[in-house]
Amino acid sequence: MSTLYDVPAPAKINLFLHVVGRRPDGYHLLQTVFRFIGLYDYLNFDRRTDGRIVCESPVPGLAHEDDLVVRAARALQQATGTHYGAQINYQKNIPSGGGLGGGSSDAATTLIALNRLWGTGLSRSELMRLALPLGADVPVFIFGQPAFAEGIGEILHPVSVPERAYVVVQPTQFVPTGGIFSSPDLTRDTFCVTITVFTDWQASVEQKNAVSDLKNQQSVYFGQNDLQPVVFGKYPVVEEANRFIQGLGANPRMTGSGSCLFVEFVTLDEAKAFQQKIVGTIARCQTDNATAVNKTWACPGLLNHPLYDWLHS
């Protein structure tokens, strides 16, 4: 095997995101649940025998040395001593600056795919350790399961999540992560919860859903995203997009550090119907804040990462 084409890198959403403290080195302590969704970047890999990493990035202005895909490939080379290199190109569908983890997912898929293509044989846990210096979100994509995360996001516990679908809304404003976490308006003292608090809450919601008609019900979310009010204060277009979705009768939540919002549905058909409602309303220009929405996707929630079986634990 010398090539791997159309290798998927899924987006993630944070079902909730609590900032519970800050370490002396400035990193924030978090609690969150990561879930993968069916919105993908796709990467192509050709094995090289000269040891070079050559990457054709689709991101305008991104220097070769700064590309997480390149950094991931070189990290695997250095850790294993392989003499192989790679020719890499990839297609971006996950928007940057949206809180969907696209760059982290691309890096994780690169590690998983090249571990396979180069025959380096690292285990899941070994790749996760290699991934952490690349970014706090990279290990969860190698972990490969919905996860309750703590620490800076690197302490991961598998968690069961129900089958759900999501409409993801990208506002017309980019949100850089650094400015949100450094904001003096960010609260950093949300009360810590245990994983059982989340799973017990989820079980109670599922029990109520089992005896009720789920059609067109409002989504009920656990906790909150502590970064959301900071983003809304600094980036009014994101808040406008949120109000637009609320005006259509839905209950959106921001993922990660923004700017993308999501709405949860029980079925993909319901998600697609709501997406069409958004598109139709924008086309008719029925509200002033409709211009705050750039793009939308209707996506299934994934029960596992599509490359989960490519690694052994």
- Candidates 41, 67, 106, 137; catalytic one: 137
Please tell me what DSSP assigns to residue 127: H
**Six-digit token pair at 172?**
């017309």
Which of these is catalytic: 6, 12, 67, 269?
12
15: which DSSP letter?
A: E
The answer to whether the beta carbons of residues 94 and 23 sit under 8 Å apart is no
Burial class (CB in 10 A: 0-12, 13-18, 19+), 205: middle
Three-state SS for 86?
Answer: strand
Residue position matching structure tokens 């997480």: 68
Report the distance separating Cα 68 and Cα 91, nearest Å. Answer: 14
- In whole angstroms, what separates CA 19 from the centre of its chain? 17
Is 137 considered catalytic here? yes
Question: What is the rounded distance in angstroms from the CA atom of residue 185 to the CA atom of residue 233?
Answer: 9
Query: How many Cα atoms within 13 Å fall on the side-chain side of residue 220?
Result: 11
| Whether the Cβ atoms of residue 260 and residue 39 lie closer than 8 Å to each other | no
CA distance 62 to 269: 37
- Residue 213 falls in the annotated catalytic set: no
Beta strands (DSSP E) in 124-215 are: 147-150, 155-158, 165-171
Residue 189 CB-density burial (10 A; 0-12 exposed, 13-18 middle, 19+ buried): exposed
Give the H/E segment covering residue 237. helix 236-247
Distance CA 255, CA 187 (A): 17
Catalytically active residues are 12, 137
